[in-house]
Each structure stands twice: as structure tokens, then as C-alpha cells.
């Protein structure tokens, strides 16, 4: 008995000594690392880097800016199936432990030693959260120091926060690959849906890939993603969250992700860049990329897509007219790819009839070329290459060339397509659409390709405006007493240019002269000589000052040559100026941002329409009526096929360097410019009528289909002091309604011609 007592006493002393040693060691560890540990209380104001989201007219996503793509969610936003999947896959005992799990640490040690089987990771959710929240302090190195710091911080987190709070922090912080942080961003990345809408198998996949994110992403390694998803489902069944049958049914479903992790890119990159520059200038880069602003804009994404398509097809059409095929810039064989193994990013996104996509030349001879675009194959015969003016495909293509083709028709069953050869044009262009009543930007395209050039030709390019200047000159004339029936003279004329200067002798586009004509006809046919004579009649300084009322940023030079449009303007300011005509003489300043809120939903700013008085409402209506004639009988007559109330004006600069068309209906004003970045001819005969107007028409056709009401079309409402009268189009004399050459003319009250009374 004495021996037992002595042994127990010695054992107690040893235990006391070991305990004291452990306590001392622990105290030493705590003392050694306490100064280096982060302040966990900082999480009280948890504000991680989040996505700045730019939204369109109906809340549609236009684009995002972020260092870390993250959308913070609350605990109740995380669906039960995802909570259970994460717990099962990562930390089944989360709600029982105090931040550390000895059993899991032992299992992890065994796994590291024997490298067998799937066992839960050694770190609890709290430990994973600790090192992800404080990477600079704790780090990710596999060292004892990191483990100790991680454990100490985990204990502090558990003491300060509830389990739901810790779990929510974890779900918002963890990285899921491809730039996505947090479960909401992961759900959007992989399935294009909100996290609350995830199905069981989708939730299990997201939970499963936490362990190695990118390496187990379904975009990178579909087999690994499938294994991890099924592992998460099995663990859910083991933990009792779901039945074995539910797990089996979910495991039988394929992983169906939502496309390309790089995304399709913004449908409005030029517009988005304008917004980005505004935000960075006003709020700074940190707020832009880290603070999760929500930016509401007036951009209409469906209308924007129509603008993209219209400009793309229009520039390609003009390029085809030139008949010059340029050597392909890439050859996949030269890049050491195989013909069968090459993959292009575009092929991972949906492909439909009418699309223009990259294709690889698989074989080519003098009769035809075989091409592949993803799983589709097609044949380019001589007819498909006819526009190149070459008869043999082998004379312009070689095996391995990466080219562009238009998918005319697709046979899904046979995985074949009828294709035409196309190419990216060198030519540039721009399109902008503004709401007449507010000035809101509805669509903006600043060039053929944002990837090729980020220079925004809608807002940054100053180009000569050509004959689009004429409506502003004639507006001054109408306000100074001239009428649509005023007779002007289109005859050769020389004007005194001042002492010691040669006489100024302008000419017309067609180098012809038509003699006397009405002001209406002079505008509809875009004659130069009558416009110069109007400026000479009114005085260049007065006309230049009048044009400035329309909001142009640079003053007009007060010379007779104003009539030829030598003035340089941007497309957006020219489009804005035209919008004053259908808006009763009031020009609304263009703007792209409606409101900005911070991550807490606090309103930072809100924009409202800014009206600018340009001209009188009655003068604006007379000009609108004149510009309607341009699309009914003049240089814009092709637009008459729209069968829609529209008006507008063409513009062509000398030597065909710039082509314009700016037009409007009662609700929208749209401007189109076509040209090269350097000042050189577009091509022979490429005028505003032939180059810019077809793009405008294509866009307006889509716009009317999307937003128009054919049964109840809008109308241009006249002010009360407008007098309508039938006049002879050629002479301007009063005519009988319905007469062959009669047009219904609008006059300011008191300026209409007097009918001759006959007895």
C-alpha cells in the first residue's frame, strides 16, 4: 500500500511538473506571438474587397470592376443545402468545437503520413478563415509558427463571434478560383445564378472545390470537380443531411457550368470605360476596385447589342467592297498546335447561325478549303471567296491559318455549317444613341473592337462634320425670317475673301449646279453653294454664334467655309446637338450615370437630366420637318424603308475621309461615324449615304423591333403657332393638296406664302 501511495505521489508530482511545463510553454508561446497577432475585433467592421457593379437600364449587368470579385451575403442568404455541403466537406464538427479539432488534426497527420483515402482536412472552418482573413500575419507556409498563430487567432475568433457569424465570414471570404471570392461570386461564376437558387448538386460542387479551387475547377479539371462534388454528396449523406438515395440521384447528374470563366466580356466596353474613368476620377481607384459600389446607368443592353451588331456588320460590308483580303495574322501550326488539338476561347461560348467566329483551315486546295470552328466543320468554295477577287482558295489561305467565317446555316446533327469567308476590317466607326427627353446614353460603340483599340471614337475623336453642319446653318436662317420655300441659287459663285486673298469659290459634291431651288430642296440634296450663300446673307459671325447654342465644345470659325463642315466635333456632341430638334429646341446634356450607392446601400450621388435651351420650339419643329424630307426624298432616302417617323442628315468630308449620318425619331437620336483613325479616304464613293446611313438603318430596324410600337407609332408634335400648307416642291408656291409635286410644308405663323385669290 505504501508503494502504491509513493508511486501515486511521484506520478502526481510528475504530472504537476509536466502540466507546469506545458503551461509555461503555452504561456511562452502566447507571450511570444501575442504582439504579432492581428486584432480580431477589427472584424466587427468586416468590409472585404467587393465588386463594383455597373448596371444597365433594367438592372442588367453591364460590367464589373474588382481586385477580388466578391459579393457579400448574409447568413440567411446562404441556402441550407450549401451550408450543409460546406460543413460536410470541410468541417462536420464546426458547431461543436471551439475553433480547433484535435481529432481532425490527428486524422490530417495520419493522412500526411500514409497518404491514403479521403478524410476531412486538418483545419477547421475557423482556422481556414483565420489564415484567409490575415494572410500577412499568419501566412500559408506549412510551419509550426503558422499553425500556432492560426490556432490562437481561431480561438479568439470563436470567443468573440457566434457560429453563424463565423460561418458567414467564411462563406464571404474563401476563394473559389478564377477571381471569384465568396459563395455568391462562385455561384455566379459557375452557374450564372444567385447562391440562394443553387440546386443540391450545384451546392455540393461549390463546396467540394474549396479544398483546391482552381485545380479542381470544372473549367480546368472536370473529372476532379466531379470527384470532389461526389465526395461532398457522400459526406452529406454520412452526416445525415441527405439520404443515400438523394446523394445517388445528385451524383448521377452531370456538372453543367455556365460557359467561360473569362466571361463574354461586357457588351458595352467603351461605355463601361467611360464610367470607369468617371468613377476613378471622382472616388479614387481604391473605392472603384475594392469598395463595392453599385452604379446605375441608363444603358439599354438589348439596344446596345443591336448597336454592336449594326456597326460590326456595317464596317465589314464596307471592307468587303474594297475586295482586299489580308493575310491571316495567326497560323496554329506555326504556333506548334495541332489542327485537331487547337482550341479557341470563343468556341466555349454558344455559337448560333449568323455569328462570326474564328475557324482553323484544316485543308486547302485550288477548289475549296475545309475549316473547323469548335465542333463544326464547313467548306469554303470559290463562291464564298468571290469578294476577294481570287479564284483559288489556296492562293490566299494555307493549312493552319486562323481566319474568321460567318455561319450562314448550321446542321447540328451533322456538326457541319455553311460558311462564308470574312475578315476583321481595318476601318473604324462609332455609334451613340441618346434619349431625346433626358440625354441618357442608351447605347455606345466607340470602335470596331475594344480589344484592338480602347480609343473611344464616340467621345474622344474630333472629326470634321461635313454636311451634318447644314441643319444648324439653316436653323439660323429660319430664325432670321427665311422659310422652307425661300428660293436659293445653286450657281457658280465667287466670294471676296479679303484684301490680298484669292476669291473663295466653293463647289458641290457632284461638281454640278442646279440653279434656283427652295431651301428645303437645298437641304434635302445637301447642296453646298446655297448653304454658303445663306451664311453670306446672314453674316458668318452671326451663324457661328448661333451654331454654338447647340452645345459644341469648340467655337465655330466665322468663315463662309462653315457650310462645308470643316468644324471638328465629337460624335456624341453632334448627336446631342441634333437631339434638340425633336425635343422642342431643348438640348439635354448627355450623361451615363444615374446613381451611385456604396456597399451599405447609401446613396452617394444621383444624376438628373440637365436641360439646355438651344432654339425656339417652333423653329425646332420647322427644322424637324425639313430633316424628315432628307429621309423621304433626299440623301437619306434609304431610311424611308423603315416606315417609321424619322428624320436626319448625311455628312461626307472631302476625299471621302469621314462619313456621317445623324438621325432621330420622336424618342431617340442616333449618330453614326465611319472613317479611319488617320485621315485618309474610306474608299471611292463611300459617302454618308453609302457608308454611315446603312449602319444607322440596321440599328434603327432593331431598335424599332425592340422598343417601337408599330400599331401606335410616336409622332413629332408641332407647337401651336405652326401653320401647315401644301406647296409645290420645286417652286415653293402654294399648291393643291394631293397634287403630284406637292409637299406639306410647316411654317412659323405669319411666314407662310399667301395664296393668290382667284374670282
Write out the DSSP string of 378-445. EEE-TGGGGGGT-S-GGGT--TTEEEEEEEEEEETTTTEEEEEEE---S-EEEEEEEETTT-BEEEEE
Q: Which three cell numbers stand for residue 662?
A: 445623324
Residues 361 and 415 in one domain: yes
- The predicted structure's pLDDT at residue 140: 54
Residue 379 CA to residue 20 CA, distance in Å, equals 84
What's this model's pTM, rounded to 2 decimal places? 0.85
Residue whose C-alpha is closest to residue 465's, from 577, 576, 581, 570: 570
683 falls within a domain:
no
Residues 357 and 240 in one domain: no
Residues 390 and 477 in one domain: no
Residues 74 and 27 in one domain: no
Secondary structure (DSSP) of 122-133: SS-HHHHHHHHH
Q: Which three cell numbers stand for residue 585?
A: 429646341
Contact between 546 and 472 under an 8 Å Cβ cutoff? The reply is yes
412 falls within a domain:
yes
pLDDT along the chain (759 residues), means of 10: 54 49 44 58 76 93 89 94 95 85 59 49 80 68 65 86 93 90 92 94 94 83 93 96 96 86 80 97 93 96 98 96 92 95 87 94 96 95 90 94 96 93 96 98 97 96 97 96 96 86 88 94 96 95 93 93 94 98 97 95 95 96 98 96 97 96 98 97 95 98 96 95 94 90 94 67
Residues 478 and 384 in one domain: no
Secondary structure (DSSP) of 27-44: HHHHHHHHTTS--GGGGG
Q: Is 187 noted as a catalytic residue in this protein? A: no
Number of domains present in the structure of the chain: 5
172 falls within a domain:
yes
Q: b vs e for 498-514, b when ≥16 Cβ sit within 10 Å of the residue's Cβ?
A: eeeeeebebebbeeeeb
Residues 150 and 237 in one domain: yes
Strand, coil or helix: what is 367? coil
Residues 22 and 73 in one domain: no
Residues 153 and 101 in one domain: yes
Contact between 646 and 714 under an 8 Å Cβ cutoff? The reply is no
Which of 251, 279, 297 marks a domain boundary? 251
- The predicted structure's pLDDT at residue 310: 98
Domain holding 387: CATH number? 2.40.50.140
Residue 89 CA to residue 207 CA, distance in Å, equals 7
711 falls within a domain:
no
Contact between 150 and 36 under an 8 Å Cβ cutoff? The reply is no
Q: How far is CA 442 from CA 598, 669, 670, 713, in A?
A: 24, 10, 10, 19
Beta-bridge partner residues of 361: 371
483 falls within a domain:
yes
**Phi and psi dihedrals of 605, rounded to 5?**
-160, 155
**Domain that residue 375 falls in:** 327-422
Q: Do you know the residue count of the chain?
A: 759
**Phi and psi dihedrals of 238, rounded to 5?**
-60, -40
369 falls within a domain:
yes
Q: b vs e for 729-753, b when ≥16 Cβ sit within 10 Å of the residue's Cβ?
A: beebebbeeeeeebbebbbbeebbe
Q: Which three cell numbers stand for residue 644?
A: 417609321
Strand, coil or helix: what is 251? helix
Residue 223 CA to residue 209 CA, distance in Å, equals 12
Contact between 661 and 552 under an 8 Å Cβ cutoff? The reply is no
The secondary element (H helix, E strand) that includes residue 153 is: helix 144-160
701 falls within a domain:
no
Please give the DSSP secondary-structure letter assigned to residue 190.
Answer: H
- The predicted structure's pLDDT at residue 427: 96
Strand, coil or helix: what is 535? helix
- Pairing verdict, β 515-518 and 568-569: unpaired
Q: How far is CA 713 from CA 73, 562, 639, 716, 744, in A?
A: 45, 36, 16, 10, 20
Which residue among 90, 150, 406, 573 is the active-site one?
90
Residues 163 and 77 in one domain: yes
- The predicted structure's pLDDT at residue 113: 53
Q: Which three cell numbers stand for residue 507?
A: 463647289
Residues 228 and 354 in one domain: no
Residues 152 and 241 in one domain: yes
Residue whose C-alpha is closest to residue 671's, from 576, 546, 561, 600: 576
Q: Which three cell numbers stand for residue 383?
A: 463562291
Domain holding 151: CATH number? 1.10.3810.10
Domain holding 530: CATH number? 3.40.710.10
- The span from the first CA to the last CA of the chain, in angstroms, equals 152
Contact between 183 and 206 under an 8 Å Cβ cutoff? The reply is yes
Q: b vs e for 153-171, b when ≥16 Cβ sit within 10 Å of the residue's Cβ?
A: bbbbbbeebeeeebbbbbb
11 falls within a domain:
yes
Which of 219, 251, 283 marks a domain boundary? 251
Query: In sequence order, which residues have a C-beta less than 8 Å from that of residue 167 and are 6 or more positions away?
Result: 75, 78, 83, 86, 94, 125
Query: In sequence order, which residues have a C-beta less than 8 Å from that of residue 105 and are 6 or more positions away?
Result: 122
Residue 47 CA to residue 599 CA, distance in Å, equals 9
Q: Is 90 noted as a catalytic residue in this protein? A: yes
Which of 251, 266, 298 marks a domain boundary? 251
Residue 468 CA to residue 562 CA, distance in Å, equals 11
Strand, coil or helix: what is 4? helix
Residues 5 and 106 in one domain: no
Which residue among 154, 187, 296, 467 is the active-site one?
467
Amino acid at each position: 500500500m505504501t508503494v502504491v501511495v509513493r508511486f501515486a505521489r511521484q506520478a502526481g508530482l510528475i504530472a504537476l511538473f509536466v502540466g507546469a511545463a506545458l503551461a509555461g510553454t503555452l504561456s511562452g508561446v502566447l507571450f511570444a506571438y501575442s504582439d504579432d497577432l492581428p486584432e480580431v475585433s477589427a472584424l466587427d467592421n468586416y468590409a472585404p474587397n467587393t465588386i463594383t457593379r455597373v448596371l444597365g437600364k433594367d438592372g442588367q449587368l453591364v460590367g464589373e470592376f474588382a481586385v477580388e470579385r466578391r459579393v457579400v451575403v448574409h447568413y440567411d442568404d446562404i441556402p441550407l443545402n450549401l451550408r450543409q455541403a460546406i460543413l460536410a466537406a470541410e468541417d462536420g464538427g464546426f458547431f461543436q468545437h471551439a475553433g480547433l479539432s484535435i481529432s481532425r488534426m490527428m486524422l490530417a497527420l495520419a493522412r500526411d503520413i500514409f497518404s491514403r483515402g479521403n478524410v476531412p482536412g486538418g483545419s477547421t472552418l475557423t482556422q481556414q478563415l483565420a489564415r484567409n482573413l490575415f494572410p500577412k500575419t499568419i501566412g500559408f507556409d506549412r510551419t509550426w509558427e503558422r499553425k500556432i498563430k492560426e490556432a490562437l487567432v481561431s480561438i479568439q475568433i470563436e470567443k468573440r463571434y457566434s457560429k453563424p457569424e463565423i460561418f458567414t465570414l467564411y462563406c464571404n471570404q474563401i476563394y473559389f478560383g478564377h477571381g471569384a471570392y465568396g459563395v455568391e461570386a462562385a455561384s455566379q461564376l459557375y452557374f450564372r445564378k444567385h447562391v440562394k437558387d443553387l440546386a443540391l448538386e450545384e451546392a455540393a460542387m461549390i463546396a467540394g472545390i474549396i479544398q483546391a479551387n482552381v485545380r479542381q475547377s470544372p473549367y480546368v479539371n472536370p473529372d476532379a470537380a466531379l470527384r470532389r462534388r461526389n465526395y461532398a454528396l457522400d459526406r452529406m449523406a454520412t452526416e445525415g443531411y441527405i439520404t443515400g438515395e438523394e446523394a445517388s440521384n445528385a451524383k448521377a447528374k452531370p456538372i453543367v457550368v455556365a460557359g467561360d470563366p473569362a466571361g463574354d466580356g461586357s457588351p458595352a466596353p467603351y461605355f463601361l470605360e467611360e464610367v470607369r474613368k468617371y468613377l476613378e476620377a471622382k472616388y479614387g481607384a481604391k473605392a472603384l476596385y475594392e469598395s463595392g459600389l453599385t452604379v446605375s446607368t441608363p444603358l439599354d443592353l438589348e439596344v446596345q447589342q443591336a448597336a454592336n451588331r449594326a456597326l460590326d456588320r456595317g464596317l465589314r460590308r464596307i471592307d468587303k467592297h474594297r475586295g482586299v483580303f489580308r493575310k491571316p495574322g495567326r497560323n496554329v501550326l506555326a504556333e506548334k498546335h495541332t489542327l485537331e488539338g487547337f482550341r479557341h476561347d470563343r468556341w466555349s461560348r454558344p455559337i448560333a447561325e449568323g455569328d462570326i467566329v474564328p475557324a482553323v483551315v484544316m485543308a486547302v486546295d485550288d477548289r475549296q478549303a475545309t475549316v473547323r470552328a469548335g465542333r463544326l466543320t464547313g467548306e469554303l468554295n470559290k463562291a464564298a471567296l468571290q469578294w476577294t477577287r481570287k479564284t483559288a482558295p489556296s492562293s490566299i489561305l494555307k493549312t493552319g491559318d486562323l481566319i474568321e467565317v460567318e455561319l450562314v446555316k448550321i446542321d447540328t446533327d451533322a456538326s457541319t455549317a455553311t460558311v462564308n469567308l470574312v475578315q476583321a476590317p481595318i476601318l473604324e466607326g462609332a455609334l451613340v444613341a441618346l434619349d431625346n427627353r433626358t440625354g441618357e446614353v442608351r447605347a455606345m460603340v466607340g470602335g470596331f473592337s475594344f480589344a484592338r483599340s480602347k480609343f473611344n471614337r464616340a467621345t474622344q475623336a474630333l472629326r470634321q462634320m461635313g454636311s451634318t453642319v447644314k441643319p444648324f446653318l439653316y436653323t439660323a436662317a429660319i430664325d432670321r425670317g427665311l422659310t422652307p420655300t425661300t428660293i436659293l441659287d445653286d450657281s457658280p459663285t465667287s466670294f471676296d475673301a479679303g484684301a490680298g486673298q484669292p476669291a473663295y469659290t466653293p463647289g458641290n459634291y457632284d461638281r454640278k449646279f442646279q440653279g434656283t431651288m427652295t431651301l428645303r430642296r437645298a437641304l434635302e440634296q445637301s447642296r453646298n453653294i446655297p448653304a454658303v450663300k445663306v451664311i453670306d446673307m446672314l453674316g458668318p459671325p452671326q451663324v457661328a454664334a448661333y451654331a454654338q447654342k447647340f452645345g459644341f465644345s469648340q467655337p465655330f470659325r466665322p468663315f463662309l467655309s462653315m457650310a462645308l463642315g470643316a468644324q471638328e466635333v465629337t460624335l456624341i456632341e453632334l448627336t446631342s446637338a441634333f437631339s434638340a430638334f425633336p425635343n422642342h429646341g431643348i438640348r439635354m446634356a448627355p450623361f451615363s450615370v444615374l446613381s451611385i450607392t456604396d456597399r451599405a446601400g447609401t446613396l452617394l450621388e444621383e444624376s438628373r437630366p440637365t436641360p439646355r435651351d438651344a432654339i425656339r420650339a417652333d423653329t425646332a419643329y420647322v427644322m424637324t420637318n425639313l430633316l424628315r424630307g432628307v429621309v423621304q426624298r433626299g440623301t437619306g432616302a434609304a431610311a424611308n424603308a423603315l416606315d417609321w417617323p424619322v428624320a436626319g442628315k448625311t455628312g461626307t468630308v472631302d476625299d471621302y475621309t469621314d462619313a456621317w449620318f445623324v438621325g432621330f425619331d420622336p424618342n431617340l437620336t442616333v449618330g453614326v461615324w465611319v472613317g479611319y483613325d488617320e485621315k485618309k479616304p474610306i474608299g471611292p464613293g463611300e459617302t454618308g449615304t453609302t457608308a454611315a446611313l446603312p449602319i444607322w438603318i440596321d440599328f434603327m430596324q432593331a431598335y424599332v423591333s425592340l422598343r417601337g410600337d408599330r400599331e401606335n407609332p410616336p409622332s413629332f408634335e408641332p407647337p401651336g403657332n405652326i401653320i401647315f400648307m401644301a406647296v409645290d416642291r420645286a417652286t415653293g408656291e402654294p399648291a393643291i393638296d394631293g397634287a403630284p409635286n406637292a409637299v406639306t410644308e410647316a411654317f412659323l405663323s405669319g411666314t407662310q406664302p399667301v395664296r393668290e385669290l382667284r374670282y
